Amino acid sequence: MKLYEFEAKGILARYGVSTPKGVVVAKGDDVRGKLASSGLTPPLVVKSQVLVAGRGKAGGIRIARSVEEAVSLTEFLFDYPIKGLRPRYILVEEAVEHSSELYASITIDKSARRPVVLASLYGGMDIEEIAREKPESIVRYHVDPYMGLRGFEARLIAKKLGLKGGVISSFASLLQSMYNAFVDYSADLVEVNPLTIVGEKVVALDARIIVDDNASYKYPELAIERVEGGEVSEWESRARRLGLAFVELEGDVGVMGNGAGLTMTSMDLVYEYGGVPANFLDIGGGASAERVKKAVLFLLEFPKAKSIFINIFGGITRCDEVARGIIEALKEYSGKPKPVFVRLSGTREEEGRRLLEEFGIRAFDNPLDAVVEAIRAAR
């Protein structure tokens, strides 16, 4: 779950990180009243709160020289879509005059099984380019998850960056605050980019926090409505509302499988045999008949899919549950008939195949046969 910039900054501020003075305006608020009473001193930065990358380049960040200008820019940005998304919140902040832009983040290094701190003197929008061209300019530091990021370690990172004097300590405490927020919010990522140095103080000019979806239930206070995606198609957002892992593609063969690996491989097979998949749809592990029915109905209604290839190899998924779901979906579907090719193997395959065959659907054992048929039927 991606947090808005103002939420991320709010969290970091509670951990002692300095952020520019600002105010959040929600859609429908009295913009003028809110900004007038905020006591902010111009120049101001007006920032559209959208959860997409490249917001600055897309025109979502504007400078206002007066409160009056900030009011009209705020109203303007509410109606200004960034990659197709209209914001629900606008953050208005005092501009911080700065000459340096640094980078700091904490994420999980999956293969090292450790949290890792990344820091660089060269922050801003081109940080990835710098990582490619001058990888030595990025300091990486692995943290022992049982010890946390200790002060001397954080100061070591600051020293490695080449920071001097009092900034060493303020940068180190920024990193420690970020680390504590990272742990407390079960974050996949805490990123401050850019951050700047004002005197001996470190200020976070922008901030991102991504909370692990598996842990988001621990933070009911973050349950506000989020407008996400941007490049999500109509059918993808429909699938998201149904809780289906679905990606729309260009072709005409509908693909559904259990498990990301098998579903991706099913797509690969469609390509290999000369077809083009219309989508990726993974029903996950242990899907109930109800969930399968929902997924199959979705593909039956999905107009791009001219035929449907269902590839199931049951482990924790039970073939009889899958068969029941497919049958119920086909019974309920009242649109234009669509050919469905089902490969069913694994746990309870005999029961599953029997159910399908009693209903008049052939159950394939070999997915290659089912793929070939599905491609032919789509043409």
Partner 1 sequence: MAVLVGRDTVVVVQGITGREGSFHTKLMLEYGTRIAAGVTPGKGGGEVHGVKVYDSVQEALQEHPEVNTSIVFVPARFASDAVYEAIDAGLKLVVVITEGIPVHETLRFTNYARSKGTVVVGPNCPGVITPGEAKVGIMPGHVFSRGPVGIVSRSGTITYEISYALTKEGLGQSTVIGIGGDPVVGLTFTEAMEMFEKDPETRALVIIGEIGGDMEERAAKMIMEGKFTKPVVAFIAGKTAPPGKRMGHAGAIIMMGEGDYASKVKALEKAGVKVARNPFEIPGLVSRVL
| Catalytic residue set | 103, 191
Among 14, 65, 114, 331, binds partner 1 (CB under 8 A): 114
CB of 373 to partner 1, least distance (A): 16
If one asks whether residue 136 binds partner 1 (CB under 8 A), the answer comes out as no
Count interface residues toward partner 1 (CB under 8 A).
66
If one asks whether residue 121 binds partner 1 (CB under 8 A), the answer comes out as no
If one asks whether residue 267 binds partner 1 (CB under 8 A), the answer comes out as yes
If one asks whether residue 58 binds partner 1 (CB under 8 A), the answer comes out as no
If one asks whether residue 286 binds partner 1 (CB under 8 A), the answer comes out as yes
If one asks whether residue 133 binds partner 1 (CB under 8 A), the answer comes out as no
With vertex at residue 83, the alpha carbon angle to CA 78 and CA 84, rounded to the nearest 5 degrees, is 65
* Tokens found for residue 336: 């234009």
CB of 241 to partner 1, least distance (A): 18
If one asks whether residue 191 binds partner 1 (CB under 8 A), the answer comes out as yes
Stretch near partner 1 under the rule CB under 8 A, chosen from 209-217, 233-241, 327-335, 352-360: 209-217
If one asks whether residue 215 binds partner 1 (CB under 8 A), the answer comes out as yes
Question: How far is residue 256 from each of residues 47, 246, 263, 371, measured CA to CA in Å?
Answer: 40, 9, 6, 12
d(CA 55, CA 336): 42
If one asks whether residue 72 binds partner 1 (CB under 8 A), the answer comes out as no
If one asks whether residue 313 binds partner 1 (CB under 8 A), the answer comes out as yes
* Tokens found for residue 264: 């991706």
Binding track, positions 225-264, relative to partner 1; x by CB under 8 A: ----------------------x-x-------xxxxxx-x
If one asks whether residue 188 binds partner 1 (CB under 8 A), the answer comes out as yes
CB of 344 to partner 1, least distance (A): 12
Among 106, 204, 292, 378, binds partner 1 (CB under 8 A): 106
CB of 157 to partner 1, least distance (A): 15
Among 18, 193, 196, 307, binds partner 1 (CB under 8 A): 193
Stretch near partner 1 under the rule CB under 8 A, chosen from 9-17, 41-49, 80-88, 267-275: 267-275
Stretch near partner 1 under the rule CB under 8 A, chosen from 77-85, 99-107, 160-168, 324-332: 99-107
If one asks whether residue 220 binds partner 1 (CB under 8 A), the answer comes out as no
Report CA torsion sign: 136, 138, 142, 148.
positive
Binding track, positions 20-39, relative to partner 1; x by CB under 8 A: --------------------
CB 77 within 8 A of CB 93: no
Find where tokens 């791009």 sit.
Answer: 304
114-139 b/e (C-beta count within 10 Å ≥ 16 → b): ebebbbbebbbeebeebeeeeeeebb
**Residue 5 identity:** E
If one asks whether residue 6 binds partner 1 (CB under 8 A), the answer comes out as no
Among 15, 219, 271, 333, binds partner 1 (CB under 8 A): 271
CB of 301 to partner 1, least distance (A): 22
Q: Is 175 exposed, middle or buried (CB count within 10 Å of its CB: 0-12, 13-18, 19+)?
A: buried
Q: Note the residues at the interface with partner 1 (CB under 8 A).
A: 103, 105-111, 113-116, 118, 127-128, 131-132, 135, 138, 144-146, 183, 186-189, 191, 193, 208, 210, 212, 214-215, 217-218, 247, 249, 257-262, 264-265, 267-269, 271-272, 277, 280, 284-286, 313-316, 345-347, 349, 367-368
